[in-house]
Chain A
Amino acid sequence: MSRTVIIDPVTRLEGHGKITIMLDDGGAVENALFHVTQVRGFERFSEGRPYYEMPSLMARVCGICPVSHLLASAKACEAIMSVRIPHTAAQLRRVLNLAQLLQSHALSFFYLASPDLLLGMESDPTTRNVLGVAAATPVLGKAGVALRRIGQTIIELLSGKRIHTGWVVPGGVTEPLTAEKRDSILALLPEALRDTQMALAAYKQIADKFKQEIEVFANFPSNYLGMVDSDGSAVYTDGNLRLIDQAGYTIEDDISAIRVTQVFGEAVEPYSFTKFPYYKPLGYPDGCYRVGPLARLNIVANMGTDCADKELKEFKQLSKGPVESSFFYHHARLVEMLYAIEMIERIMADPKILDKHVKAAAGVNRLEGAGHAEAPRGVLHHHYKVDENGKIVWANLMIATGHNNYAMNRGVLQAARAYVKKGKFTEGALNRIQAVVRTFDPCLSCSTHAYGQMPLNVELLNSDGEIVDRLVQG
């Protein structure tokens, strides 16, 4: 008799998700799905609002990566204004984005992933958390806390608030940087660099213990999408997108924000509120791809900073072509943290960084605009249309977690087939299946732009995949 196993909720994620595993009559895994059970409505309730409210409004999509929404939204507004922001404002925004990358990656690696990596996938689930990590390896626990705190402090020093700052506005930023704050930021970086290098060394020591997980954690050929500078180096705030194929060849390059909706479509599946973006010429699902740290490191030729470049070289030796196993998202995240610290230091040395001219003014000069930025989890895209008074008449958001949706589902199925045998599974096996999703560090609140505690839709499927019962809550 066929059975359905439901893991609900999937733990140590940003947001609420559910996994359904469908077994056939013989107990083998027939299919597995990762559901995102939240629904929101930011695109709809922003209609009618003035465009200049959008950055602050859209930042409320997320408490972890509000900076990315601020930036993508402000850039979409600036496209509507047809304005180029001052150099110093652009530099300060880059620092803000990198500080967010640092704190978000620290949260993902140390708080969410390290319990599995440091304590083991089979370790006692009651202590398999950051407190367990703190007890087992206090040095790494302290490093995680320090790195998150440093990223958040830099955000606060720049923008006045740790989350949901109003500092980024269409046209630039509201306040210039002071010499005192610049020095405070610079003073934080040596500790951040030491802690990140220590974490990288620790990761490399333990990664070999996870050969089986590396083999089946969303380990398959795919396309990759990410932002890249014109010289092939890493860039996270101001650049265009590149899509590469499974062999690493460029499929489509120099994709500006306004072209995104021409190039990419968004498929929907009945089991998830998160959409499934795909590259239109290849169709759905062949045109699906991965984004985020793994994709970015697969795409770029170099990081553009000394320590991160050495690490990138080592990372690229993991595979002849693109690194395919999503387990290596963890590794890529640490390399990016190193880059963020080095690049913040470099930008702080810009002779114009204390310039007082940080905002350009303009009104509505176009009725449509789009902007994108690299969020910690991958490409984030905002696209708006306005009327002649600047009121939003249409908005569309494409979120990093959405871009990874298809790959996460394939990864869950791959891991479920590896770890669930003859209808039997252990707690460690179920943890591994969830850990596949954690490698992507999905932000489910972002991906659905959801609000509050979400309605839950539990479906029971028979061996033919037909829904035989459904429970809707909320």
Chain B
Amino acid sequence: MILACGNSLRGDDGAGPWLAGWAEERFHSNAGVRVIARMQWTPELAAEIAESNSVLFVDCAIDGTPGEVRISPVECAEDAGEIATHHNDAPHLLRLCRELYGVSPRSSLLLTVGAGSTELGEGFSTDVSSMMPEACRCIERIVLEALSGG
């Protein structure tokens, strides 16, 4: 499952939904791939995660170099923290999934694209635009590896 997050009306924050749209098209004929894009990650998504073998979270990162594509493993949150009604991070969604359904995906990765600007407006900054093909290649590689059991 590809689980993207972002707001296409907030500049580079729209990277997640855009990449989800690309993945939807790229893997539309593959029943083993599900793509969900949301403006925020809400607790109900734990139920979707519970039904998935592998999860690739896709988001923009405001703490990264603009345009930088980063891939990192996601660990289940150790602290109970505060699960928010409107927005949660990937580790807490994994924790909620584990508490409620007693399962964890075999693999959980987070792909982020460093944001240059998240001001109001559609379209990406130059840095992010230029790196979207690289982000697409990364998603393709991760999904194909997951499908092959890698």
Does A112 sit within 8 A of B, measured CB to CB? yes
**A interface secondary structure, majority:** helix
Let me know if A141 is at the binding interface, CB within 8 A: yes
Which residues of chain A are within 8 angstroms of B83 by Cβ–Cβ distance? Answer: 111, 129-131
User: Which residues B61-87 have CB closer than 8 A to chain A?
Assistant: 79-83, 85-86
Give min CB distance, A195 to chain B, whole Å: 12
Q: Which of B95, B99, B100 has the most A CB atoms < 10 Å from its CB? A: B100
Residues of B within 8 A of A107 (CB): 85
Cβ < 8 Å to B, chain A residues 171-188: none
State A152–B101 Cα separation when bound (angstroms): 20
Contact A131 B101 (CB under 8 A): no
Complexed CA–CA distance, A112 and B86 (Å): 12
Is A9 in the interface zone, CB < 8 Å from B? no
- Alpha-carbon gap, A149 to B46, bound state (A): 10
* B47 close to chain A: CB less than 8 A: yes
Interface residues of A in 104-153 (CB under 8 A from B): 107, 111-112, 126-127, 129-132, 134-135, 138, 141-142, 145-146, 148-149, 152
B44 with A145: CB separation less than 8 A = yes
Which B residues are CB-close (under 8 A) to A112? 85
Let me know if A131 and B85 touch, CB within 8 A.
no
Q: Are B43 and A111 in touch, CB under 8 angstroms?
A: yes
| Complex alpha-carbon distance, A129 and B82, angstroms | 6
A12 to B43, CA, bound (A): 14
When each residue 23-44 of chain B gets 1 if its CB lies under 8 Å from chain A and 0 otherwise, what string results? 0000000000000000100111
Is B96's beta carbon under 8 Å from chain A? yes
Task: Sample 12 A-B pairs with CB under 8 A, ordered by A number.
Answer: A111-B85, A127-B80, A129-B80, A131-B83, A132-B80, A134-B99, A135-B99, A138-B100, A141-B100, A148-B43, A148-B44, A163-B39
Bound CA span A112–B84, Å: 9
- A134 surroundings in chain B (CB, below 8 A): 96, 99-100
Main SS class of interface, B: loop
Query: Interface size on A (CB < 8 Å)?
Result: 24
Contact partner of B80 among A131, A146, A148, A163, CB < 8 A? A131
A138 touches B44 (CB 8 A): no
The docked-state distance in angstroms from the alpha carbon of A295 to that of B92 is 36
Q: How far is the CB of B138 from chain A (nearest CB, A)?
A: 28
**CA–CA, A132 to B95, complex, Å?**
11
Question: CA–CA, A129 to B99, complex, Å?
Answer: 13
Query: When the two chains form the complex, which single residue of A63, A129, A142 contacts B100, counting CB atoms closer than 8 Å?
Result: A142
B85 contacts A141, CB within 8 Å?
A: no
Report yes or no: A131 in contact with B47, Cβ–Cβ below 8 A.
Answer: no
Q: B42 — nearest CB in chain A belongs to which residue? A: A148
Q: Which residues of B contact A142 (CB under 8 A)?
A: 47, 100-101
Q: Judging by beta carbons under 8 Å apart, are A145 and B46 in contact? A: yes
Cα A148 to Cα B43 with chains together (Å): 9
Inter-chain pairs besides A131-B99, A141-B99, A145-B100, 13 sampled, C-beta below 8 Å: A126-B80, A131-B81, A131-B83, A131-B96, A134-B96, A135-B80, A138-B100, A138-B102, A142-B47, A145-B44, A145-B46, A149-B44, A149-B47
Flag whether A14 is at the interface (Cβ < 8 A): yes
Is A130's CB under 8 angstroms from B43's CB?
yes
Q: Which 7 residue pairs across A and B have the least CB separation, nearest first?
A: A134-B99, A149-B44, A127-B80, A130-B83, A131-B83, A134-B100, A131-B80
CB of B101 within 8 A of CB of A130, answer no
Q: State how many angstroms separate the Cβ of B26 from the closest Cβ of chain A.
A: 23
B residues within 8 A CB of A148? 42-44
Interface centre among A127, A130, A138, A142 (most CB of B within 10 A): A130
Nearest-CB distance from B4 to chain A (Å)? 14
- The interface residues of chain A lying within 8 Å CB-to-CB of B100 are 134, 138, 141-142, 145
Is B47 a contact of A146 with CB atoms below 8 Å?
yes
Task: Kindly provide the distance from the CB of A445 to the nearest chain B CB, expressed in whole angstroms.
Answer: 10
CA–CA, A135 and B82, complex, Å: 13
Which positions 52-76 of chain A face chain B at CB distance < 8 Å? 63
Nearest B-chain residue to A146, judged by Cβ:
B47
Q: Which residues from A are CB-within-8-Å of B80?
A: 126-127, 129, 131-132, 135
* B81 closest partner in A (C-beta): A131
Contacts of A145 in B (CB 8 A): 43-44, 46-47, 100
Q: Pick the contact of B44 from A12, A131, A152 — CB < 8 Å? A: A152
Residue numbers in A under 8 Å from B82 (CB-CB): 11, 129
- In the complex, chain A residues 23-70 whose Cβ is within 8 Å of any chain B Cβ: 63
Cβ distance A233 to chain B, nearest Cβ, rounded Å? 31
Is A63's CB under 8 angstroms from B86's CB? yes
0/1 per residue, A214-246, Cβ < 8 Å to B? 000000000000000000000000000000000
